[in-house]
Structure 1
Amino acid sequence: MRILHTADWHIGQTLNGWSRDHEHRAFLDRLQDVILAEDVDALLVAGDVFDGINPSGEAQRLLYGAIARMVRSCPHLQIILTAGNHDPAQRLEAPEAVLKELGVHVLGTLRRGAEGVDLDRHLIALRDRHGAIRAHVLAVPFLRQADLPGLRLGAEDGDEPAITAAVRALHREMTEAAVARVGGLPLLAMGHLTCSGGLASDGAERRILIGGEHAVPPDVFPGELAYVALGHLHRPQSLDGGRVRYSGSAFPLSASEIAYDHGVTLIDLSDGVSHRHIPIDRPVPMFRLPRSGSGKLEDMLAALAEITLSSDTPRDKQPFLYLSLIADRPVTMLAAEIETLMERTPARLAGLSITRSDQPAQERPPATLAETSPEDLFLSAFQEVHGTPPDAHHLAAFRDALSEA
């Protein structure tokens, strides 16, 4: 039996206002090719299916259209989707009654009954193309504080924080109950969280905080779990000898992910449990100029000249550029030059950072909001990223967003 582990699709994401729908369509088409080529029986999507809690109609059409095509081309395929911290959990579950008829399970929230977690819902049998049960998966969505009953924030339970102890107890409870049901067949699990020892990227992954804690050790997953399919960290990586693994995101979601080997993970249950990474080519190139640090505009132009760009490339397929510049002239003048440059360059600006050569090191922000305000933090962050204070329309947009939060 073969299972495909993937996560962190972030459908609906934009970069500096640019849609990434073309990239998501290309990725989902390639994913379908892998499912057929590798004879996959089940697809696990471990959270952050969407990029935000209010996905557009187009983002939802992308997802459900892809699911329909996958099931149509591979009728025996089972699909299990669990919510991540970016996902609208209830909205993700809304079409469950229809999707379940197609062999698609959607779990946005942790369901409990009188006797604990509802295993009839969260423990899912995985069948091969002949209908025989070959394994089971404990499908666990992103956990929130309410999912950890009895949690006392700030407390210590022995040698570990209360959050770690609570997550450990939840997975131990679920695993013990599942083992009693699976009859010796392989038991896998899905989750969406940060494991200590995992390498995170900057710019796209939110630090998930509960009671000040954002990471748990991989040994919170009991040894009876043959494989743990995780989402949240965007770099493909394995922990605990490969038993606990992040498949990584579909393609780079920020400048810090440009060097990642994006792809999916194929799990093979033919002889024990083994897995291998399958790279997936990114649909659109992404560059950071310079590759590290900051440089002058002249240096950036020289680096840009080495990139093959074509004016015939459709807008939604043009490369993304992150530019990090040192201002050797007024920041407003340099920003205007960049704007003019991008108007005649067949590429899309994903981000621009301008640092004045005489700019002093930025002070670290206060540790708590009691010592500052959200608007002060916004002003500081905007200045640090762009090298210039926000205009009136930036400030107005921030205040509108804050009023709706």
Structure 2
Amino acid sequence: MKLLVTADLHIGRRCSKLPEDVARDHAPVKMWRRIVDFAIAEQVDALLIAGDIVDHDRGFYEALNAIEGGIERLDSAGIRCIAVAGNHDVEVMKRLRRTLETDNFDLLGQGGRWECVQLAGHDGGRHTDVWGWSFPQSQVTTNPMPQLTADMLESGTPSIGLLHCDRGAGSDSVYCPVPGGDFARSGIGTWVLGHVHKPASADSVRSEPRNFYAGSPQPLHPGEPGPHGPWMIDIGPDGTTTVTHLPLATVRYETVTVAVDAPGAELTAKDDLHGAVVEAVRTAARGIVADQPDLQHLCCRVRIVGRTPLDEEQLRDEWQRVFANDTDQVSFVVDDVTAYLEPVAAFDIRPHLDVEALANHSTPLGEAAKFYLQLTGEREMSDEARAHVDLIQQRITHDVYSRVRSWLDDEDKTFGQDQACRLAAEQTRRLIETLHAQGPGERHA
């Protein structure tokens, strides 16, 4: 059995920090249609939604036609839609259920009670129980889990739980607080949760008992970074369940770090800042697209870090100069992705370290500086330094690198002395930074 699951679409809202036309074209209602398309293409048995499909009353009219049309298409494909109401859509979902002219939509747990439906797979195999509980009003301060007792569950039957809740919150929460341990004790192997918009990590869903936040399938603001999209639950003939995240979102929010002291790309003038930002964003975008191929718009918060002889205030002024004409954001295209830069950047700039001067001292810091200069080719490499590099190359080649060799492109499948030098230089630079920060008493010991 294949179940596509999601939560927190918030139809009626728009993705923030995007131009108005882009936000409209990539609104949650468009993601709903893509989820329906995906469910039909994958021939899933059901689509499950863990609350907040609609964002308050303002999403009712926008949601009505979209949801009704989507459910009709799912019905034609033999796919059932099962949902619970969250704190944002409790009243809207009641109205939608009364308005929808279809029997293929189940709103579980109305009135704050547990309710179960049985799903039979397309192949006629064993059925799966789906349990759900809906918000009876927009604020709930009590934990509904004690109402779900063991005698209500069918022994030996795979089961899925749908709940919109504030997992791990105290009793002062008004969004259905549930202690985390209640899910493992419930007897239900997999819980799909709504309310938190950031999706769970892949590691957290590997084995039962599992409970995870599905997250918003399309992120809505910079506080929701990382990949977004629905999840697929596969239930095998023996009841074994696997859960996989599907990063189908077309929008992503990320913080991009720009190192002003990156080897070979150190800033020497304030004007160099913009080129460094563009290169960092390009690298980030291409790395993200490799894992999220549907990405079209990347919203970036820029973080500028490192040591430089340039004055931090000058760099701040140079950054703000780009946005001086009341520009909310600037954008440029990286392959097929449009990247947007927010006007406010974070700066963590430290004074420049004169490694050449440090290398003139016979101290642990001085010895590290000498080694660094040899690794970067600024001084002739000693026999001792060369032996260290050879050892690094041998150990990585035999102990680590061989394990990932099959993942790499052909041109990257050798780990030579140049790569070993770069790796050693990065680590030595960090050591120099640490020793220098300790102060004279420590670093000259």
TM bracket (short chain) = 0.5 to 0.7
In structure 2, the partner of 1:32 is 36
Q: Quick check: 1:236 aligned with 2:237?
A: no
* Aligned mates of 2:71, 2:256 — CA distance in 1: 37
Structure 1: unaligned runs, 5 residues or longer: 149-165, 197-207, 310-315, 359-405
Which deviations, in whole Å up to 9, do the C-alpha atoms of 1:181-206 show, x marking residues without a partner? x475333211122334xxxxxxxxxx
Cα 1:91–1:256 change in 2 (3 A) is closer
Which deviations, in whole Å up to 9, do the C-alpha atoms of 1:196-219 show, x marking residues without a partner? 4xxxxxxxxxxx775158864332
* Aligned mates of 2:137, 2:186 — CA distance in 1: 24
In structure 2, the partner of 1:123 is 116
1:236 is paired with a residue of what secondary structure?
Answer: coil
User: 1:353 aligned to 344, 348, 352, which one?
Assistant: 344
User: 1:322 aligned to 292, 296, 301, which one?
Assistant: 301
User: 2:237 aligned to 252, 258, 270, which one?
Assistant: 270
* Aligned mates of 1:341, 1:28 — CA distance in 2: 28
TM score, norm. by length of structure 1: 0.60
- Are the counterparts in 2 of residues 4 and 264 from structure 1 also a CA contact under 8 Å? yes
Larger Rg: 2
Q: Quick check: 1:258 aligned with 2:225?
A: yes
- Are the counterparts in 2 of residues 10 and 51 from structure 1 also a CA contact under 8 Å? yes
2:249 is paired with a residue of what secondary structure?
Answer: coil
C-alpha deviation, 1:89, in angstroms: 1.0
1:32 is paired with a residue of what secondary structure?
Answer: helix
* Aligned mates of 1:6, 1:213 — CA distance in 2: 22
C-alpha deviation, 1:277, in angstroms: 0.5
1:95 is paired with a residue of what secondary structure?
Answer: helix
* Aligned mates of 2:271, 2:179 — CA distance in 1: 44
* Aligned mates of 2:249, 2:139 — CA distance in 1: 38
The residue type equivalent to 2:255 in the other structure is R
Cα 1:145–1:255 change in 2 (3 A) is closer
2:131 is paired with a residue of what secondary structure?
Answer: strand
TM score, norm. by length of structure 2: 0.55
2:199 is paired with a residue of what secondary structure?
Answer: coil
- Are the counterparts in 1 of residues 8 and 194 from structure 2 also a CA contact under 8 Å? yes
In structure 2, the partner of 1:218 is 180
In structure 1, the partner of 2:5 is 5
The residue type equivalent to 2:50 in the other structure is A
Which deviations, in whole Å up to 9, do the C-alpha atoms of 1:345-371 show, x marking residues without a partner? 56575754356999xxxxxxxxxxxxx
* Aligned mates of 1:194, 1:42 — CA distance in 2: 25
Q: Quick check: 1:84 aligned with 2:58?
A: no
- Are the counterparts in 2 of residues 289 and 300 from structure 1 also a CA contact under 8 Å? no
1:353 is paired with a residue of what secondary structure?
Answer: coil
* Aligned mates of 1:138, 1:2 — CA distance in 2: 16
C-alpha deviation, 1:33, in angstroms: 4.6
Cα 1:69–1:127 change in 2 (3 A) is same
Cα 1:52–1:299 change in 2 (3 A) is farther
Q: Quick check: 1:227 aligned with 2:206?
A: no
In structure 2, the partner of 1:399 is none
In structure 2, the partner of 1:378 is none
C-alpha deviation, 1:41, in angstroms: 1.0
- Written as runs of structure 1 = structure 2, the 5 A alignment for 1:191-202 is 191-196=163-168
* Aligned mates of 2:331, 2:45 — CA distance in 1: 47
Q: How many residues align?
A: 308
1:136 is paired with a residue of what secondary structure?
Answer: strand
1:31 is paired with a residue of what secondary structure?
Answer: helix
Which deviations, in whole Å up to 9, do the C-alpha atoms of 1:32-56 show, x marking residues without a partner? 3542454311111112213445226
Structure 2: unaligned runs, 5 residues or longer: 261-266, 286-294, 305-311, 350-445
In structure 2, the partner of 1:303 is 277
C-alpha deviation, 1:130, in angstroms: 7.0
* Aligned mates of 2:47, 2:341 — CA distance in 1: 31
1:45 is paired with a residue of what secondary structure?
Answer: strand
* Aligned mates of 1:147, 1:333 — CA distance in 2: 45
* Aligned mates of 1:292, 1:279 — CA distance in 2: 31
- Are the counterparts in 1 of residues 331 and 341 from structure 2 also a CA contact under 8 Å? no
In structure 1, the partner of 2:367 is none
- Are the counterparts in 2 of residues 124 and 137 from structure 1 also a CA contact under 8 Å? yes
Q: Quick check: 1:42 aligned with 2:35?
A: no
C-alpha deviation, 1:324, in angstroms: 5.5
In structure 2, the partner of 1:383 is none
- Are the counterparts in 1 of residues 256 and 303 from structure 2 also a CA contact under 8 Å? yes
Relative contact order higher in (CA < 8 Å, ≥ 6 apart)? 1
Moved more, 345-354 or 1-10: 345-354
* Aligned mates of 2:139, 2:228 — CA distance in 1: 35
Cα 1:98–1:26 change in 2 (3 A) is closer
Aligned-residue identity in percent: 20
Cα 1:62–1:323 change in 2 (3 A) is farther
C-alpha deviation, 1:139, in angstroms: 1.0
1:235 is paired with a residue of what secondary structure?
Answer: coil
- Are the counterparts in 1 of residues 199 and 214 from structure 2 also a CA contact under 8 Å? yes
| Structure 1 vs Structure 2 CA RMSD | 4.3
In structure 2, the partner of 1:205 is none
Cα 1:298–1:254 change in 2 (3 A) is farther
- Are the counterparts in 1 of residues 118 and 130 from structure 2 also a CA contact under 8 Å? yes
- Are the counterparts in 2 of residues 6 and 265 from structure 1 also a CA contact under 8 Å? no
2:72 is paired with a residue of what secondary structure?
Answer: helix
* Aligned mates of 2:213, 2:328 — CA distance in 1: 39
